[in-house]
Amino acid sequence: MDIRFHELEADAAERDAVDSVLGPPVSAWAGGIRDIETEGHSATFGGHAARSQRDLLLPVLHAVQGRFGWLPPGALNYISRRLTVPPAEVFGVATFYHLFSLTPSPPGVIHVCDDIACRIKGAERLCSELEGISVPQFTWKRSPCLGLCERAPAVMVSQAGENPRLFSHGPVVATSEIVAAANSTNGKPEGLESLRRSVPQAGQEGLRLIRRIGRVQPDNLNAYQADGGYAALKKALEMGPEGVIREVLASNLVGRGGAAFPTGRKWEAVAKAAARPHYVVCNADESEPGTFKDRLLMEGDPFGVIEGITIAAYATASERGYFYVRGEYPLAAQRIGAAIEEARAAGLLGENIFGSGFAFDIELRRGAGAYICGEETALFNSIEGKRGEPRNKPPFPVHVGLFGKPTVINNVETLANIPLIIAEGGAAYAGVGTSGSSGPKLFCVSGHIVRPGLYEIPFGRTLRELIDMAGGVPGGKGIRAILLGGAAGMFIGPDKLDVPLTFEGTRAIGATLGSGVVMIFDETVDLADILTRVAAFFRDESCGQCVPCRVGTVRQEELLSRLRSGRTIGSRADELALLKEIGQAMRDASICGLGQTASNAIESAFSNLNPIPGGKNGA
Signed CA dihedral, 167, 168, 169, 175: sign only:
positive
Q: Which strand (E) or helix (H) includes residue 253? A: none
Q: Give the residues across from 433 on adjacent strands.
A: 438
Residue 533 C-beta: closest distance to other proteins, Å: 9
Decide if residue 102 touches other proteins (CB under 8 A): yes
Residue of the chain from 46, 59, 73, 425 that contacts other proteins (CB under 8 A): 73
# of chain residues touching other proteins (CB under 8 A):
70
CA distance 530 to 446: 14
Candidates 56-64, 80-88, 196-204, 229-237 — which segment interacts with other proteins by CB under 8 A? 80-88
Q: What type of residue is 61?
A: L
**Which CB sits closer to other proteins, 327 or 494?**
327
Contact 232, 307 (CB under 8 A): yes
Decide if residue 47 touches other proteins (CB under 8 A): no
CA distance 517 to 603: 18
> Binding string to other proteins for residues 367 to 406, with x set by CB under 8 A, is what?
--xx----------------x----x-x------------
Candidates 34-42, 94-102, 194-202, 486-494 — which segment interacts with other proteins by CB under 8 A? 94-102
Q: Which strand (E) or helix (H) includes residue 156? A: strand 155-159
Decide if residue 508 touches other proteins (CB under 8 A): no
> Binding string to other proteins for residues 442 to 471, with x set by CB under 8 A, is what?
------------------------------
Candidates 137-145, 157-165, 355-363, 438-446 — which segment interacts with other proteins by CB under 8 A? 137-145
Candidates 299-307, 411-419, 464-472, 583-591 — which segment interacts with other proteins by CB under 8 A? 583-591
Decide if residue 142 touches other proteins (CB under 8 A): yes
Decide if residue 131 touches other proteins (CB under 8 A): no
Contact 408, 250 (CB under 8 A): no
CA distance 85 to 70: 20
Closest residue by Cα to residue 121 from 268, 290, 234: 290
**Which CB sits closer to other proteins, 265 or 564?**
564
Residue 599 C-beta: closest distance to other proteins, Å: 12
Closest residue by Cα to residue 379 from 366, 370, 368, 388: 388
- Give every CB contact of residue 286 below 8 A, 6+ residues apart in sequence: 147, 292, 293, 294, 295, 326, 329, 374, 411, 412, 515
Decide if residue 532 touches other proteins (CB under 8 A): yes
Please, is 425 exposed, middle or buried when counting C-beta atoms within 10 Å of its C-beta (0-12, 13-18, 19+)?
middle
Residue 575 C-beta: closest distance to other proteins, Å: 10
Q: What are the residues binding other proteins (CB under 8 A)? A: 1-4, 6, 73, 76, 80, 86-92, 95-98, 101-103, 141-144, 369-370, 387, 392, 394, 532, 536, 539-548, 550-555, 557-562, 564-565, 567, 569, 578, 581-582, 584-585, 587-591, 596
